[in-house]
Amino acid sequence: MKKFCLYIVCSLFISISFGQTRVDYRDANYLSCDSASAKYIFQTGRNDIDGRWVQNIYTPEMRLLSKTSYKDSTLDIIEGCRTMYHYNGVVKTRACYVDGILDGEVLCMYSNGITRRKDIYQYGNLVEGACYASNGMKITYFDFEKPARYVGGIPALYTAISVNSQSIKIPETDKITGNVKAILYINAEGSIVDVRIVQGLHPLYDAEVIRICKHLGKFDPAELDGEPVNSTFPLLISF
């Protein structure tokens, strides 16, 4: 196989009047499923007021769990607020973003309404921050967002890709060069639960990327306010 070049970006994998609405049923890993098996219901639509796209996540009983405002229909870049809720309806997390970057106040609370975290960001830079125990006492500060990380780091990821790669020796691919963009869907336990190609190069190369990714093994899962969460891990692999 031709030499790999790898580029990695991590991101973390929430009612208003919608002009149009799409409803998706998802399992515990946020993957599409039928309505009978759904653990979550995703409602996505365009806000008629500001043109942004909003995604609400509900339980099957239609209890609102989260609401996120995005720049456009790709749902790649958070623009505005992301608000998450405890099952009792108390706000769990409210964070402000500009171009997908934290900007403004981040407020987190325990289910009893006591503040868990209060941060201030200025376009990605932490200006001030504090974390608290459920009794209101200040505790050691920890980061609000932590992206998924391959166990062993980037060197180990390169090694795993190299070890699991197989040669593709077919004349029709000899003169084909370029990139395959894939997204790994990683659950809160750090397992890869799905691989999707977002920019293909050739069916054989695309299939090889999917095969390799499914053999990569464990990640340290992403965390949000200290709790493991489902996330995405995009890869750009060059042939």
**Rounded Cα–Cα distance for residues 109 and 113 (Å):** 6
Per-residue tokens: 139: 């505790």
Give residue-wise pLDDT tens across range 46-70. 886 777 899 999 999 999 999 999 9
Q: Quick: pLDDT tens for 120-155.
A: 999 999 999 999 999 999 999 999 999 999 998 988
Q: Report the sign of the C-alpha dihedral through residues 159, 163, 168, 169, in that order.
A: positive
pLDDT at res. 119: 97
pTM exceeds cut of 0.75: yes
Task: Let me know: does 98 contact 90? Beta carbons within 8 Å.
Answer: no
Q: Are strands 115-122 and 125-132 parallel, antiparallel or unpaired?
A: antiparallel
Instruction: Assign 173 a pLDDT band (cuts: 50, 70, 90).
Output: low
Q: What is the pLDDT of residue 235?
A: 85
pLDDT at res. 162 = 85
With bands split at pLDDT 50, 70 and 90, how would you rate the model's confidence at 167? confident
For residue 16, pLDDT beyond 60: no
Predicted local distance difference test score (pLDDT) of residue 9: 41
